[in-house]
């Protein structure tokens, strides 16, 4: 396999994290909404957990993007 092809395949694999972040964010908000509808009084206490989950899911996607860009433009 040529080096250029391997570089593009590696960047594509690293970019998979972007799709996973979108799915994770939807899952986090969906579960929060379902829990809030079942028990509205507990929703306010779970809001910090919602923000933490969102931040971690978004960071995963951003790290994947950075790795993909590093693979494409540095190596």
**pLDDT value of residue 20:** 72
pLDDT, tens only, 15-49: 887 777 777 778 888 888 898 999 999 888 888 98
| Token pair of 44 as six digits | 């306010």
What's the domain range around 7?
A: 3-73
Res 38: pLDDT: 92
Q: Which two structure tokens, joined as six digits, stand for 68?
A: 């993909």
Number of domains forming the structure of the chain: 1
Alpha carbon 37 to its chain's center = 25
Q: Round to whole Å and give the CA distance between 29 and 15.
A: 22
pTM for the structure as a whole: 0.70
CATH value at residue 33: 1.20.20.10
Q: How many CA atoms lie within 13 A of 72 on its CB side?
A: 13
């Amino acid at each position: 396999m040529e080096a250029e092809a391997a570089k593009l395949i590696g960047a594509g694999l690293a970019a998979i994290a972007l799709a996973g972040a979108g799915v994770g964010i939807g899952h986090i908000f969906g579960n929060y909404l379902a829990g809030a509808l079942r028990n509205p009084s507990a929703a306010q206490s779970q809001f910090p957990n919602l923000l933490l989950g969102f931040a971690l899911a978004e960071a995963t996607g951003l790290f994947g993007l950075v790795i993909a860009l590093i693979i494409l433009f540095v190596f």
